[in-house]
Amino acid sequence: MAYRVLYSFVKKGFYIGELNRRHLIRHGIAPQHLIRAPYSAPDRFQNMSETQFRQIRADCRNTLGIELDKIVVAFFGKLISKKNPDLLLRSVAFLPEDLRGKVTLLFVGSGAMEAEMKEQARPLQKWGTRTIFAGFINQSSIRDYYAAADIVVLPSRREGETWGLVVNEALQAGCAAVISDAVGCAVEFGQWERVRVVPQGNAEVLARALEELAVFPRKFDWAREGMNSYATERAAEGLAEEIRLLTSQTRVGS
pLDDT of res. 254: 54
Q: If the chain, 254 residues long, is cut into consecutive pieces of 10 residues, what is the mean pLDDT of each piece?
A: 91 90 94 89 90 97 97 98 97 97 97 97 97 95 97 92 94 97 95 97 98 96 93 80 76 58
User: Which one, of 126, 120, 169, lies nearest residue 144 by Cα?
Assistant: 169
pLDDT of res. 84: 97
Given a contact cutoff of 8 angstroms between Cβ atoms, the answer to whether 94 and 203 are in contact is yes
Residue 88: count of CB within 10 angstroms of its CB: 26
- Quick one: DSSP state of residue 114? H
Topology (CATH level 3) of domain 50-225: Rossmann fold (3.40.50)
Q: Do β-strands 130-135 and 103-108 pair in parallel, antiparallel, or remain unpaired?
A: parallel
pLDDT of res. 250: 63
CA distance 131 to 72: 10
User: Which one, of 31, 37, 30, lies nearest residue 15 by Cα?
Assistant: 37
Query: Domain residues of the chain, as ranges?
Result: 2-40+231-253, 50-225
Given a contact cutoff of 8 angstroms between Cβ atoms, the answer to whether 40 and 210 are in contact is no
Does the global pTM surpass 0.85?
yes
Given a contact cutoff of 8 angstroms between Cβ atoms, the answer to whether 130 and 105 are in contact is yes
